[in-house]
Every structure is written in C-alpha cells, then in structure tokens.
Structure 1
Amino acid sequence: MALEVTVYTKDACGDCRRTKSNLNQRKVPHQTVHVAEDNIELIEKLRAIAEQLGSKLAMPYVKVVNTDTGDTEEWFGHRSDLIVEHIIAKRRGSL
C-alpha cells in the first residue's frame, strides 16, 4: 500500500511543528505545503474543506491518500491518534 501524505502548514504554528516532528520520528515520508497569509485562494480552499469535514480551520491540514485505491483521509490540527490510525497502522498492515 502506498500512502501519499501532505501536511499544510503556516508560520509560527506549534501544532504544525509537532505534526511534522511526529511524522519524522515515525519515518513517514511526507510533503509540506506552506500556506502564506496572503495566499487567499489556498486559504479559501482550506476553509471550504474544513466546512465540508465539519471542522474548524486549524492548522495543520493533513491529507493522506492511498495511491492504490484513491481513498483519502484528512483532518485539521495536530492529531497523533489519527497519524497512528490512518498512517502507521495502514503501513504495518501492508508489510
């Protein structure tokens, strides 16, 4: 199973740093997308995703795509529990 993990971050974001650190410690390859304060188009896109998920717009935004099936898991905020559930457990299951 191949997972593509993307972390959307912003400046001075403690939860963003914690999320990336958690992924790094667990040796999870991931891409980081910096969300600049003046990137209104991306911020509005993230706001729409948060609304669709019934969540508040709280960085980071994490998107996990199973490239084999196209299934997507996504969430806002630092969520170690979801990193384990949607990334670590799935990687272990594919070994």
Structure 2
Amino acid sequence: MRHSLELTMQQRPEVLERVLRVTRHRGFTVTQLQMRINEDASLSLDIMVDAERAIELLSNQLNKLIDVTQCRVIPAAASSHNVCAQ
C-alpha cells in the first residue's frame, strides 16, 4: 500500500540521511521523493512510501527526530492526485 508524507525539517546536512534510515528500519520502501527549501530556510520533503504496515508506525517515529519540526500524513485521496504541496 502506498502512503504519502509531508515533512518540514531544519536545514542540516544529516537530516535527510536520518529520515531515510528511519524509513528503511521501519520496513517502508521509498518510491518517490521531492525536497525543496522554504522561505524560512527550512526544508520540505514530500515522500511517497510503499509498505503493508500502518503509516502511523513511520510518522510517529519521524516526529521524534530532533530535526523534524512537522510530519503530516497526506490522505490517500489527495496523494492519488499527486497533491503534496503545502
């Protein structure tokens, strides 16, 4: 099952590595990734993952990362239309 997440993160060199490591350790496969720098110098990451596990298992862990300021699950109806913007 495919899931979409939108993350807002502090701009640091290691933040993407941490997010991807947690994603892999929780058993999710990244299928699509888009990152951009916001006006306030934070990073926005739109990530689509594939797994049979509940997306809350991943989103709860990502929220615990110190550099992640927000993690939002995009509802299935919105993600099927590729709407991942803020």
Task: Output the TM-score relative to the length of structure 2.
Answer: 0.36
Computing the radius of gyration over CA atoms, which structure comes out larger, 1 or 2?
1
Q: Which has the higher helix share?
A: 1
Q: Normalising by structure 1, what TM-score?
A: 0.34
Instruction: Flag the structure with more relative contact order, 1 or 2, with Cα contacts below 8 A and sequence separation at least 6.
Output: 2
